[in-house]
Amino acid sequence: MKFYFPDSLDQVSPTFNFLTEEHSPYRVRQRDDKYAHEVLEPQPYDGLLVSKAIVDGSVKGAGKYTMPQRQRLYRLGVSEYFRLPANVVTLGDCGAFNYVNEEVPPYTTEEVLDFYERCGFHSGISIDHVIFGYNPKVSDAEVDSSWKERRQISLRYAEEFHARVQDRGNKIEPVGAAQGWSPASYADSVKRLQEFGYQRIALGGMVPLKTQDILACLKEIDQVRLPETELHLLGITRVGSMEEFAGYGVTSFDSTSPFRQAFMDDRNNYHTVAESFTAIRVPQVDANPALKRQVLAGNVSQSEAKRNERECLKRLRAYDQRDESLERVLEVLEEYEQLVDPPKIKINKITGKETSTTRIPNYRHTLESRPWESCRCSLCATCGIEIAIFRGSERNKRRGFHNLTVFADKMHHIKHPHVQEI
C-alpha cells in the first residue's frame, strides 16, 4: 500500500535553536530548510502529491507558491525541486476542492497536461468535479441534476485526458478520476474509465463518507474492476480499514491527516503504533495570538505569563534529563494552564456527568510514557522532549513529520492480496 503525502510546502529548519527560539542569521529557507524526507529515517512516505491549484492558484485566487517558488518548480521539475530520493514517486492533480463551488472546472485538459509535463510528474490525475452529496438509495430519476452533470464533466475530461496523453506520446501515467454519489454510480464511473483505457483510477469525493459507505462503493466497483486496474483513494485515512480496502484493489492513497493532527487535533498530537499522546502546550507569550489578546485586554499579566512560560520549559527539559520530578512539572504546567486557558466544566446532557477540559491528566500520561525515547525516527532521537511540546511551527511540524513515519510504518505492513511476494 503506497502512501502519498500532499505537498503544502512544509519544511523545518535544522538551524533552529530550541533554547533561544531563534534561527541562524545566515539561514536561507529554500536552501537550508528541509522537507520531511530529508530529515527523517525511516522514509516517511512513498510518494508526493502536488496540486495545480496549490502551485498556480485557481478561481479562489493565488496558490500557496510565491512567483519565485513557482518558477523554480517549473525550471527544476518536481523531483529536483523537492530534492526527492529516487524511490519517491510523484503524482499531480488539479485540486478539485479549490474550485468546488464553480459550475465547471477552471482548467483545460491542455493546461493540466502542460503542468504535469513541465513539472515531470510520474503520474497525473484527470480533471474532475466534486459531487456535493452521497445517497445510495436515490433512484436514477430522482438524483440531483447537478450531481449527474458533475459526473459527466469528470468523465468527459477523463476521456479527453487519456487521449491527449496518448497523442503526445507522453511517458506520464494517466490516472482517471472517478466521481459518484452511490456505489452504483462510482462503479459505473470506473467501468467507463476502464473503457477509455485507464489502468489506474483515483476515487474522489469520498472524504466525508463513513467507512462502511466507502466499503460499499469498493464492493460494487469490484464487480466491474478489471484485474489489472489499481485504485487510489483521494484524501482518505482509515488505518483500521486499509487492509480491507486493499482487498478491493486499493493500492495507494494520500492524506495530510497524520501531519495535521500534530497541531490541529485537541488531544491526539503525538502518534505511536500503539496509541496517540497529547502534546504538552506551552504557548509563546509573545507569539500566541489568543494569549496576546488576553494580555492586551488586561486579563493576563504579561510578566507572570512569561515567568510561567520559562519555568514550564525549564522543568520539562530537566524532566527529560531525569533531573526533575513528574509532580513538579505537572504543578507548573497546571499553573500555566490556569493562567492562559482556564479549564471549563462540561456537563453531559444525557448522563449529567461533569467533565473538565483540563489537559493535565493527558500530560501526565505523555510524560510518564516518554514516547519520544522509544521512537526510532531520527527526529525524536535528536529533539528529545522538544518534539512533544506544542509550541510554534518548528516543534509542531517536526511532530507532524514524526507522525508520518508512524503512519507509513502502519501502512507498509498491509500487503495487497493481488501482489505476489518475490
Q: What are the residue numbers of the active site?
A: 93, 254
Kindly list the distances between the CA atom of residue 385 and the CA atoms of 16, 319, 324, in Å, as whole numbers in the listed order: 15, 9, 13
CA R_g for the chain = 24
The CA dihedral of 139, 177, 227, 136, to the nearest 10 degrees, is -20
Please report how the helices 145-168 and 183-196 are oriented relative to each other, as an axis angle in degrees rounded to 10. Answer: 20
Q: How far apart are CA 97 and CA 150, in angstroms?
A: 13
Tell me how far apart the alpha carbons of residues 171 and 165 are, in angstroms, rounded to a whole number: 8
Name the helix (H) or strand (E) containing 288: none
What whole-number distance in Å separates Cα of residue 80 and Cα of residue 87? 13
Contact 255, 6 (CB under 8 A): yes
CA 105/CA 99 separation, integer angstroms: 7
Distance CA 233, CA 6 (A): 13
Nearest to 88 by CA among 38, 36, 46: 46
Cell of 284: 509563546
Task: Indicate the SS3 state at residue 402.
Answer: helix
